[in-house]
Amino acid sequence: MKALLALEDGRVFPGYAFGSPGEACGEVVFNTSMAGYQEILTDPSYHGQIVTMTYPLIGNYGVNPHDIESDIPRLSGFIVREKSTLSSNWRAEGTLDDYLSSYNILGLERVDTRALTRHIREKGSMRGVISTSDLNPRSLVEKACSSPLMEGRDLAGEVTVSQPYWWQEIGHTLIAVIDCGVKWNILRHLATRRCRVKVYPCTWNAERVLSEKPDGILFSNGPGDPAALPYVVETAKKAIGRVPVFGICLGHQVVGQALGGNTYKLKFGHHGGNHPVKNLTTGRISITSQNHGFTIDAKTLPHDDVEVTYINLNDQTIEGLRHHNLPVFSVQFHPEAGPGPNDTTYIFDQFITMVEANRAKKG
């Protein structure tokens, strides 16, 4: 079935549909990971986005129930150069095509993804529409232009859980996870470190979360504009200084705002599993997994109290923060990977060490 992708600047890319036919709109971004498409499909941080894979062959190892990062696919659409017709893996329980169909996700293949990626790199991420029902380029461009902007959108509130739940009830340390769109691999890493892990809606305020006496609070990754989450920032402000606080990705941006910084939108964001990051304390360089379109503005941070701990070696943007006196820190990249390299999983150990030290200090 023929289909079109139309971008808001008027550029149109032809292709063929797979998955579920229909029409989908969202911000078009590209991901440079060579594997891990199922984790990407189910990462809540992609809610409201159409993801283009730069690796040319996708779907060759099928899908399975073990490599998911949330209960359902979260993105709006999926674009690949070539969808594999074979699913060869001992764990595979289905095909990519059938998986997208079962969740009504529109896929687009036989697209010149190299040209699309170069266009986004030059012009920046922009709104787009994929359609099998409307093949009029002018009509689709108009639809793209009238679709919601990413700036100012609170998408975390759309993907967060409605009620708290236990991920793991047995352990030595109680970690409250504020769910802005949490990836399950974050919860798995906490659980393997013998933590009791309870997940809370990001709409809960600090008083409700702190009333359950957590030993530490983690603000998770998630989609949308961090500047559109003043209620989550307020929760972080009230938690900082009372319990140890750790933020990942969107949670890093929330913590950065709570410490006095502002955020801004990147031209085309960081999406993939091959981003080099430098630890400014040790000088060590790690390859990291990333998925974000916004970042903290270094000029707005109160540097007397806050230290930048990591930077991105591609564009020098902030990748980590730490408060000089209080038990709070955050990272922009994903230490849990899923997909991506495991270079920075030690950061979870640093968080647990900080939590345990704070608990011992209180007696």
Residue 36 structure tokens = 């891990």
Residue 78: give its domain's CATH number: 3.50.30.20
Same domain, 128 and 247: no
Whether 334 sits among the annotated catalytic residues: the reply is yes
User: In this model, does residue 205 exceed pLDDT 80?
Assistant: yes
> Pick from 292, 290, 250: which is nearest to 273 by CA?
290
User: In this model, does residue 161 exceed pLDDT 80?
Assistant: yes
Whether 249 sits among the annotated catalytic residues: the reply is yes
User: In this model, does residue 126 exceed pLDDT 80?
Assistant: yes
Residue 227 located in a structural domain: yes
Same domain, 61 and 117: yes
User: Which are the contacts of 282, defined by CB distance < 8 A and separation ≥ 6?
Assistant: none
Q: Which of 126, 146, 166 is the last residue of a domain?
A: 146
> Pick from 115, 154, 143: which is nearest to 14 by CA?
115
Same domain, 134 and 34: yes
Residue 117 structure tokens = 């990626």
Going by pLDDT thresholds of 50, 70 and 90, the confidence category of residue 150 is very high
Whether 336 sits among the annotated catalytic residues: the reply is yes
Which candidate in 189, 271, 323, 334 is catalytic? 334
Same domain, 106 and 187: no
Residue 43 located in a structural domain: yes
Going by pLDDT thresholds of 50, 70 and 90, the confidence category of residue 162 is very high
Mean pLDDT score, 47-51: 98
Task: Tell me how many degrees the CA angle 212-332-171 measures, rounded to the nearest 5.
Answer: 35
For residue 303, the model assigns a pLDDT of 85
Same domain, 130 and 166: no
Which candidate in 109, 119, 249, 319 is catalytic? 249
Q: Which of 93, 116, 146 is the last residue of a domain?
A: 146
Same domain, 176 and 267: yes
Q: Which of 114, 146, 178 is the last residue of a domain?
A: 146
Residue 134 located in a structural domain: yes
Residue 299 located in a structural domain: yes
Same domain, 196 and 270: yes
Residue 277: give its domain's CATH number: 3.40.50.880
Residue 151 located in a structural domain: no
Residue 20 located in a structural domain: yes
User: Which are the contacts of 363, defined by CB distance < 8 A and separation ≥ 6?
Assistant: none
CA distance 267 to 272: 15
Same domain, 132 and 243: no
Q: Kindly report the average pLDDT of the chain as a whole number.
A: 97
User: Which are the contacts of 278, defined by CB distance < 8 A and separation ≥ 6?
Assistant: 284, 285, 310, 311, 313
Residue 142 located in a structural domain: yes
CA distance 296 to 226: 10
User: Which are the contacts of 83, defined by CB distance < 8 A and separation ≥ 6?
Assistant: 18, 58, 59, 96, 97, 107, 109
Same domain, 16 and 99: yes
For residue 210, the model assigns a pLDDT of 98
Residue 122 located in a structural domain: yes
pLDDT, tens only, 288-334: 999 999 999 999 999 899 999 999 999 999 999 999 999 999 999 99
CA distances from 98 to 91, 156, 266 (A): 16, 28, 34
Same domain, 193 and 333: yes
User: In this model, does residue 363 exceed pLDDT 80?
Assistant: no
For residue 361, the model assigns a pLDDT of 87
Domain that holds residue 63: 2-146
Same domain, 107 and 131: yes
Mean pLDDT score, 32-61: 98
- Give the chain's domain count: 2
Q: Are 29 and 269 in contact (CB under 8 A)?
A: yes
Same domain, 339 and 191: yes
For residue 362, the model assigns a pLDDT of 81
For residue 54, the model assigns a pLDDT of 98
Mean pLDDT score, 17-35: 97
Going by pLDDT thresholds of 50, 70 and 90, the confidence category of residue 266 is very high
